[in-house]
Structure 1
Amino acid sequence: MNQDQITAKLSQINSKGLEASFSLSEAALENAQKLAELNYAASKDVLVNTQDGIQQVLTAKDPKQVTELLNAETFQAAGSQAVAYQKKVSKVLRDGNKEFVNVVDASIDQLQDGFQDWINTVAANAPAGSDAFLSSFKTVYGSALQGFEQFRAASKEAFATAEKTADQAIDAIQGQMVQAKKAATPASRARKSA
């Protein structure tokens, strides 16, 4: 094998890496668009609800009516909207993470296969007496492959941690909403009995 063939194999490996980069960029843009649409819809809902609430407060005839408008159920509804929004965002991020992990896995597998093919080609066409060089080269290659595997494991762990943190945040918000509702229930009963 000559230098041009070795260079062509390396070029092929680089080409596959660029394809993977384009796939990741495309996925990132799609997820950014989904998040932008979610943010737009959530902002629009908050604005409409705020306008409705302000209109109701402005048309109230006395402070008691304003107090009734600003009850625990109103805050519960706002909290439920926030949780629903967070769940949608988490789903987009989770789907994007899965796609990213799949592209990373496929890219690492392609890169490993490409390098292995390149190493085998170089070894098959190596001149006599280069066994020591090939052995050290294969050792370096083996270390590089371990690095790829460590990156794969670290990226999966990072995404799992991010998903777990998002789930914990949703659970915390829901727990606070339940506590707020429990705390507000005796107060609203006391107002009704008075």
Structure 2
Amino acid sequence: MSSYSFSANPAKSIEAVRALGQTALGNAHELAQINYQVAQELVSTAQAKASQLLKSQDPKAALELLQGESVQEAIALIKEYQEKIAQVLRDGNEELVGAMDALINQSQDDLKEFVAAATSKAPAGSEAFVAAFTTAFTAAIQHFDQVRSTAQATFANFEKTAETGLNSAQGQLSQVVKAHKAAAKKASAK
């Protein structure tokens, strides 16, 4: 019987899955905290502005209150929020890629150890079988590298897509600000 232990593999796999689950849970918790902080800030800012608007008797002063600095503050808050979200996504992807690489490396090592143990005790005259067996498992090991490459490309594409979405939202926000400023100029010119 070989010294290769099949019982060690499931334990490592379970531990790796648990670690991935912890990473996902930690990222979800961090995203929830960011959302909560932003919501608190937005509600606080909205209450302060509403209070100022209610106190204002001059419509022009009310219009000025809704322009300029408050809009810039909102934009800064949204950009900060988006940057925090993007950072959490990047960090999470890096952790997942690292964990995936570790799992693939461990699987490759386990498979190599299995093949070495199985072929080391082959009886004389079974060289053709050993060569075929080794070739088949060598091909399987190479497939692990293809899986790794595909997964890394998937994570990279996800990150790019998320960043593109965030950049698009910032671009749309900039357009809204420009339109708001143009409307404010027209209103103050009248």
| TM-score (structure 1 length as normaliser) | 0.83
C-alpha deviation, 1:62, in angstroms? 4.4
Tell me the distance in 1 between the aligned counterparts of 2:52 and 2:45. Answer: 11
Which stretch shows the higher mean deviation, 94-103 or 140-149?
140-149
Which stretch shows the higher mean deviation, 72-81 or 108-117?
72-81
The number of equivalent residue pairs is 190
Alignment of 1:161 with 2:157, yes or no, is yes
Look up the match of 1:83. 79
Letter of the 2:18 counterpart: F
1:17-69, CA deviations, whole angstroms, 9 ceiling, x for partnerless residues?
A: 22322222222222222222212211211221222222223223244443333
Look up the match of 2:47. 51
Kept in 1, the 8 Å contact 2:67–2:181? The answer is no
C-alpha deviation, 1:73, in angstroms? 4.5
Kept in 2, the 8 Å contact 1:20–1:107? The answer is yes
C-alpha deviation, 1:155, in angstroms? 1.5
Alignment of 1:147 with 2:173, yes or no, is no
RMSD: 2.4
Look up the match of 1:185. 181
Alignment of 1:94 with 2:90, yes or no, is yes
Look up the match of 1:15. 11
Gaps of 5+ in 2: none
Higher relative contact order (CA 8 A, sep 6+): 1
1:71 aligns to what SS in structure 2?
A: coil
Tell me the distance in 2 between the aligned counterparts of 1:43 and 1:184. Answer: 23
Look up the match of 1:126. 122
C-alpha deviation, 1:127, in angstroms? 2.7
Gaps of 5+ in 1: none
Look up the match of 1:27. 23
C-alpha deviation, 1:81, in angstroms? 1.4
Letter of the 1:144 counterpart: A
Kept in 2, the 8 Å contact 1:105–1:152? The answer is yes
Kept in 2, the 8 Å contact 1:13–1:115? The answer is no
Tell me the distance in 2 between the aligned counterparts of 1:129 and 1:39. Answer: 68
Look up the match of 1:60. 56
Letter of the 1:107 counterpart: L
Which stretch shows the higher mean deviation, 111-120 or 160-169?
160-169
Tell me the distance in 1 between the aligned counterparts of 2:158 and 2:69. Answer: 31
